[in-house]
């Protein structure tokens, strides 16, 4: 019995991918200074974020900026670069983890901000850090089926509140070393926005073909990383072990249908140096072909893959093979191949 869900696409291309960076920079040294009393009390060294996670900076929005406004801006850039009018869009999928409220969807605000037609289907997909790749897969299936012609996948993230809440809570009396380490990952989160436009490949010969990919679930690990606006609580050791077991299983079985051992670029979900090194060891992929954005942007959730792809786009040549790949809380993994 197959453990992977495999998807192939006949006539879908990525027409554009854009990113928008939050303007404020928060350094790990600054966070160390704010946490100095608790680090001293717990006898923990400064520089853990840099040495353990490899995160030196992350971005934050300004006082009058919001993640959904940023997502709208990223979407407008992507539509302009793709040469697609808002009136031609048939589908909008928002994949943001961040949300101001439970309902309505974040997608309705973005749909309105982009000036999309009333006929454009719009909704949120929530699947932790894999949401953007999942959204691309769903949109590609609808384009292949002829139900829609163009789709916008979009994501905006705001780590400001969770960052502030975590630092405040870690500074309280009674916090123990295990409490600190369970919230360590929250301090790596960053803010940003990204968008992509998908459409039919035969109508856009200059587009980047989406060939397909695989997903695989290991939901027995659903409680290893649980997040809210208050904080993100992880069992880091068990999460890494379960995640790598999942990646190896998916990677190994995918060899039946795909050949991903020698891609021109691997665009990974950006978590940390520990996470990246573990994936390299587990799969044998060439580390020199993995661009890194987490050192200066942190973990921007579902936006991290499209942000990294957008930054790398100018270095890619026609015909280059690109693999989008990530592991999301829950656990799930997704891998998607594009031909540039």
% of residues, the chain, pLDDT over 70: 100
54/138 Cα distance (integer angstroms): 33
The residues, any chain, with a CB within 8 Å of residue 260's CB and separated by 6 or more, are 251, 254, 285, 323, 335, 337
323 contacts 267 by C-beta, under 8 angstroms = yes
99 contacts 110 by C-beta, under 8 angstroms = no
Query: Encoding tokens for residue 106?
Result: 């974040």
117 contacts 55 by C-beta, under 8 angstroms = no
Kind and range of the H or E run holding 141: helix 131-145
Indicate the pairing of strand 265-268 with strand 321-328: parallel
Q: What is the pLDDT of residues 243-293, one digit of tens each?
A: 999 999 999 999 999 999 999 999 999 999 999 999 999 999 999 999 999
Residue of 129, 157, 225, 337 with catalytic role: 129
3-state secondary structure 98-140: CCCCCCCCHHHHHHHHHCCCCCCEEEECCECECHHHHHHHHHH
The residue-averaged pLDDT of 80-92 equals 98
* pTM, rounded to two decimals: 0.96
Listed residue (264, 304, 266, 213) closest to 12, CA to CA: 213
What is the pLDDT, as a whole number, of residue 139?
98
59/158 Cα distance (integer angstroms): 9
- Token pair 């789709």 is at which residue? 151
C-beta atoms surrounding 329 within 10 Å: 22
Q: What single-letter DSSP state applies at residue 291?
A: -
Q: What is the pLDDT of residues 293-332, one digit of tens each?
A: 999 999 999 999 999 999 999 999 999 999 999 999 999 9
194 contacts 18 by C-beta, under 8 angstroms = yes
Q: Which domains does the chain have, with CATH numbers?
A: 6-10+206-339 (3.40.47.10)
Whole-number average pLDDT of the chain: 96
What is the pLDDT, as a whole number, of residue 232?
86
What is the pLDDT, as a whole number, of residue 129?
94
Q: Can you tell me whether residue 275 is helix, strand or coil?
A: helix
Q: What is the pLDDT of residues 245-255, one digit of tens each?
A: 999 999 999 99
Q: What is the pLDDT of residues 176-197, one digit of tens each?
A: 999 999 999 999 999 999 999 9
Indicate the pairing of strand 89-94 with strand 121-124: parallel
Cis peptide upstream of residue 298 (ω within 30 degrees of 0): no
Residue of 36, 81, 103, 225 with catalytic role: 103
Q: Can you tell me whether residue 83 is helix, strand or coil?
A: coil
- Token pair 């060294």 is at which residue? 45
Confidence label for 1 from pLDDT (cuts 50, 70 and 90): low
Q: What is the pLDDT of residues 119-153, one digit of tens each?
A: 999 999 999 999 999 999 999 999 999 999 999 99
Give the CA distances from residue 184 to residues 48, 114, 180, 195, in Å, rounded to whole numbers and listed in that order: 9, 36, 6, 28
Task: Respond yes or no: is residue 129 known to be catalytic.
Answer: yes
Give the CA distances from residue 136 to residues 12, 109, 213, in Å, rounded to whole numbers and listed in that order: 10, 20, 11
86/319 Cα distance (integer angstroms): 29
The residue-averaged pLDDT of 63-74 equals 96
Angle at 333 between CA 26 and CA 132, to 5 degrees: 55
Task: Respond yes or no: is residue 225 known to be catalytic.
Answer: no
């Amino acid at each position: 019995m197959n453990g992977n869900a495999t998807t192939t696409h006949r006539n879908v291309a990525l027409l554009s991918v854009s990113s928008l960076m939050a303007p404020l920079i928060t350094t790990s040294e600054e966070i160390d200074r704010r946490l100095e009393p608790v680090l001293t009390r717990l006898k923990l060294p400064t520089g853990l974020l840099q040495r353990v996670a490899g995160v030196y900076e992350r971005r934050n929005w300004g006082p009058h900026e919001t993640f959904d406004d940023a997502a709208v801006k990223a979407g407008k850039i992507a539509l302009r670069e793709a040469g697609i009018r808002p009136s031609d869009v048939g589908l909008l999928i928002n994949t943001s983890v961040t949300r101001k409220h439970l309902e309505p969807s974040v997608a309705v605000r973005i749909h309105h901000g982009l000036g999309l037609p009333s006929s454009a289907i719009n909704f949120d997909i929530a699947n932790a850090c894999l949401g953007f790749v999942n959204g691309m897969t769903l949109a590609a299936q609808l384009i292949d089926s002829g139900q829609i012609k163009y789709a916008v996948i979009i994501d905006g993230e705001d780590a400001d509140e969770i960052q502030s809440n975590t630092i405040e809570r870690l500074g309280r009396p009674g916090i123990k070393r295990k409490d600190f380490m369970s919230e360590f990952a929250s301090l790596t989160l960053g803010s940003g926005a990204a968008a992509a436009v998908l459409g039919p490949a035969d109508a856009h010969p200059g587009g980047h073909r989406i060939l397909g990919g695989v997903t695989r679930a290991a939901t027995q690990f659903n409680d290893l990383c649980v997040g809210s606006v208050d904080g993100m609580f992880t069992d880091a050791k068990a999460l890494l072990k379960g995640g790598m077991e999942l990646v190896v299983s998916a990677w190994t079985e995918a060899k039946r249908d795909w050949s991903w051992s020698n891609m021109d670029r691997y665009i990974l979900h950006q978590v940390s140096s520990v996470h990246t090194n573990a994936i390299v060891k587990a799969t044998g992929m060439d580390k020199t072909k993995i661009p890194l954005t987490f050192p200066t942007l942190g973990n921007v959730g579902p936006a991290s893959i499209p942000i990294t792809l957008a930054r790398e786009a100018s270095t890619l040549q026609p015909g280059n093979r690109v693999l989008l790949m990530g592991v999301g809380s829950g656990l799930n993994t997704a891998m998607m191949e594009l031909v540039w």
